[in-house]
Every structure is written in C-alpha cells, then in structure tokens.
Homo-oligomer: A and B are copies of this chain.
C-alpha cells in the first residue's frame, strides 16, 4: 500500500485521534492547567510508541512543560535527518468569551472542527504524526526522523531553548521543519519565509495612594486612567505610524521586486480583512499594502488595558492605578533590546510630573527572521504543497512570531515552515477551528515533503 492509500483508509480514525487530543485543555500559560499539559504530553508519547518512534518526555528547566520527542533512525547513518517541530500547548479559552461551543469539546460542523488548539496548532501535530505513521507502516521513511513537540510555545518556550543550547547532539538534524502558522487561504498554499519578532511589556501608571472619590477630588488630581490614555495616544502618529523616536531607524527596506510580489498578493488578505474588521476601513502606515503592514513593517499594539472600576453599575472612583499590556512586532533588522529601550525611554519622557509610570514584565522576545527562499527545505516544501493542493505556492512574509525558529536556526538554516491552518481559523480568538480538508492535505504534504527532501 502507498502511504497515501494508507491515509485514505485511516483518515476517519486519524480525525478521531485529533479530537481526542483537542479535548485535552493543554493551556501552558495558566499554572492551573499544568496537569492537562502533562496529560497531552503522555497522550503524544503513547501515540509515538504505537507508530514506531522512540518517545521521550524532556522537562528542563525544572517545573516547565515537557517537550515530547519521538526519534526514528531506521533510514540509516547515511540518510538525512529531518527534525519536525510542532507545539501541543494552546492559548486560554472559555465559553464566556463568546464561543458558540465549549472550547475543549471538539465539535464537527460541516467540514470544520471547532476547538481551542484546532488550528493553533494541534492540526500540525496530527498531520506530521500521521505522515510519519503512514511512511513507517508502508516500507519505512527515506529520512531519519526527530519529531519535537513543544508544550510551552504560548508561554515562553524555555525548555526547548535550553534543550537546543545544552544538548545540541540530541537535536542535531540536517533539515528543520517548523509546522505551525497558517497558509494564505484554504485553497491557496503559501510558504512563509519571513517572521516578525516580538517584545512585550506592561505599562503601569500610578497616581493617588488609593482610589479616591471622584466627587471629592475630581478636577484636582491627574486621573491615572486618563494619564495612561494620554500616553498611549502619543505612541502612534495620526497617520497610524509608530511615534516612538527612532522606532523605524533599523528597519531593513524591502527591495522593489519583493515589494511588488507582496503587493500582488494582498487580495487574500483584503478579502479576509473584510470579514473580520468592521467597518473594513483600512488603517495603518501610509504607503504600504496590508501584506506589507502585517509582514514587513513593525508595530506597537495595546493587547490589554485596565484601571478603576469596570464591573456592573457605577463606582465614581478616581482610580489610583491603570495598566496597559503592550507588544511590538519587529522586522529585520530591529533589535529587541534597542526597541524596548526606545519605547520605555519615550514613555518615561511622555510621563507628566503628576503621575508615575513603571514598565514591568519586560520580555525581550526575539528579533525577526528571514529565510532564504532557495534553500532545499523551502524548495521541497513548495513541491509538496503543489502535489497536495494542485497549485503553486505563494511566498509570504508573516506577521506573527515563531519563537522556535531562532532556536532551530542554530541546528540548521536549511529550514522551512509547513502550515496547514488558515488565517480565518480563529487562532488566539474565539470559535477557533480547523478545516478537515486541510488536515487531509496537510498529511499528504508532510508525506510528500519527507519523500522529496530525501533526494
């Protein structure tokens, strides 16, 4: 039987396995779910053993969520070794956020499967596991395999960084695949060759020692929620560009051919934009297309804001404190430390003498990454997508971060991202879902990739 025939025979069972994995709330960012993250890790290790891989749970530093690693070296010492990275942890989710179904009760409706983690990123875990299963069950795999499934992609990724740095021999590979993220649209495969970096921080504004009565003191005390808004408002210019002095200094300019290619590929984004954003009035740095704004330009975002009384009814307080969570998405060649220095310096400069500001929870994150489009991994990936989807891929610069790329780059720069999700899948949002046909095509892509890369 060919590996693809095997998948056709086993697809219904694979789908059920996928739902079993989705039912485990492996939320890595909330310590209350640590047991569930471990439960997911054990589920994966059992599955690896079943299909012929040697599984290991690796948790270092102590107390962090384990990496699940499955190795197979049956292709022999002369064959290439391919390391395939996925992550099995998920973002927090609660039905109260506005989900139509329970986030951890996988629900199939038409060709969609709804669940937290469906698209980000258990579809990738399942597709790659199933591809390896199909190859090993039907004559073996032409390359040696290291499946590396991370359990804390959404919460720091310390374990895998430590593993790469301290045990490079365990992670040695000729080719690295990162299976995460999303392609441009369900019917349009794409390969991401650029990723934005990220830094995050909290901005706190402190005013009075305690909340004050807004009647007694309103008009004579600078309100910290107002002061926070005044500072945030100055972080962007009126045209949508970031106002932090020097923010764009180190941004690598796009060459004309790349700009042209990016602008040519904005239709997919514009269509999706129209369904997500209401009103669909465009916003952002002037002179750039949506693709450039999200892929090749840096940003400063307010991820959360809070202060004062926000419960039911009215409490006429003058709050003592207000807070905003801020992140910056970075592009080549911005340096995370430099950006944090510039943003925090500008905030200090914007802080009026009537309140105090503090920057806390600094995460220096990572710089942006740009891969060579001519590498063997990217070329094999392009061929595999074309086989599975029946049409050529589009090359894309993506807006998100894939932290692991910086670690895997140390192992091999012959690297490709293989994504089987689409952007409308609700990653980090409500009603997250995967498309069943994309799970199927993803498995075919992963099989074809492993066959093509061996040559």
Interface residues of A, Cβ cutoff 8 Å to B: 29-30, 91-92, 98, 155, 182, 196, 198, 200, 206-223, 225-226, 228-230, 232-236, 240, 269, 273, 275-279, 281-285, 290, 293-294, 297-299, 301-319, 322-325, 327, 329, 352-356, 361, 363, 398-401, 423, 426-431
Cβ 8 A contact of A315, one of B29, B240, B314, B319: B29
Given A301-B218, A429-B212, residue A313 in contact with residue B155 (CB < 8 A) = yes
Establish whether residues A305 and B308, one from each chain, have CB atoms under 8 Å apart when the complex forms: yes
Cβ 8 A contact of A401, one of B92, B196, B215, B313: B215
A310 to B202, CA, bound (A): 10
Closest 6 CB pairs of A and B: A215-B400, A304-B308, A233-B233, A229-B232, A222-B283, A225-B302
A183 CB → nearest B CB, Å:
12
Establish whether residues B329 and A91, one from each chain, have CB atoms under 8 Å apart when the complex forms: no
A305 to B225, CA, bound (A): 7
Establish whether residues A215 and B316, one from each chain, have CB atoms under 8 Å apart when the complex forms: no
Establish whether residues A276 and B209, one from each chain, have CB atoms under 8 Å apart when the complex forms: yes
Give the copy number: 2
A299 to B275, CA, bound (A): 40
A305 to B227, CA, bound (A): 12
Cβ 8 A contact of A218, one of B230, B308, B310, B329: B329
Question: Which B residues touch A325, using CB under 8 A?
Answer: 308-310, 314
A429 to B320, CA, bound (A): 10
A333 to B39, CA, bound (A): 66
Question: Which B residues touch A307, using CB under 8 A?
Answer: 302, 304-306
Question: Which B residues touch A269, using CB under 8 A?
Answer: 220
A455 to B303, CA, bound (A): 66
A312 to B276, CA, bound (A): 27
A196's nearest neighbour on chain B, judged by CB, is B215
A314's nearest neighbour on chain B, judged by CB, is B200
Establish whether residues B293 and A220, one from each chain, have CB atoms under 8 Å apart when the complex forms: yes
A216 to B291, CA, bound (A): 10
A247 CB → nearest B CB, Å:
12
Q: Can you list 6 contacts pairing A with B, beta carbon distance less than 8 Å?
A: A29-B315, A207-B277, A207-B278, A220-B282, A222-B283, A281-B354
Question: Which B residues touch A430, using CB under 8 A?
Answer: 210-211
Establish whether residues B30 and A220, one from each chain, have CB atoms under 8 Å apart when the complex forms: no
A302 to B206, CA, bound (A): 14
Given A218-B329, A278-B209, residue A310 in contact with residue B306 (CB < 8 A) = yes
A186 CB → nearest B CB, Å:
15
A253 CB → nearest B CB, Å:
16
Cβ 8 A contact of A29, one of B91, B235, B312: B312
Question: Which B residues touch A314, using CB under 8 A?
Answer: 29, 200, 303, 325, 327, 361, 363
Question: Which B residues touch A316, using CB under 8 A?
Answer: 198, 200, 301, 303, 327, 428
A329's nearest neighbour on chain B, judged by CB, is B218
Cβ 8 A contact of A294, one of B92, B219, B355, B361: B219
Establish whether residues B305 and A305, one from each chain, have CB atoms under 8 Å apart when the complex forms: yes
Given A215-B329, A299-B219, A314-B200, residue A278 in contact with residue B229 (CB < 8 A) = no
Establish whether residues B308 and A427, one from each chain, have CB atoms under 8 Å apart when the complex forms: no
A234's nearest neighbour on chain B, judged by CB, is B233
A299 to B282, CA, bound (A): 35
A230 to B185, CA, bound (A): 34
A433 to B233, CA, bound (A): 38
Question: Which B residues touch A398, using CB under 8 A?
Answer: 215-216
A295 CB → nearest B CB, Å:
9
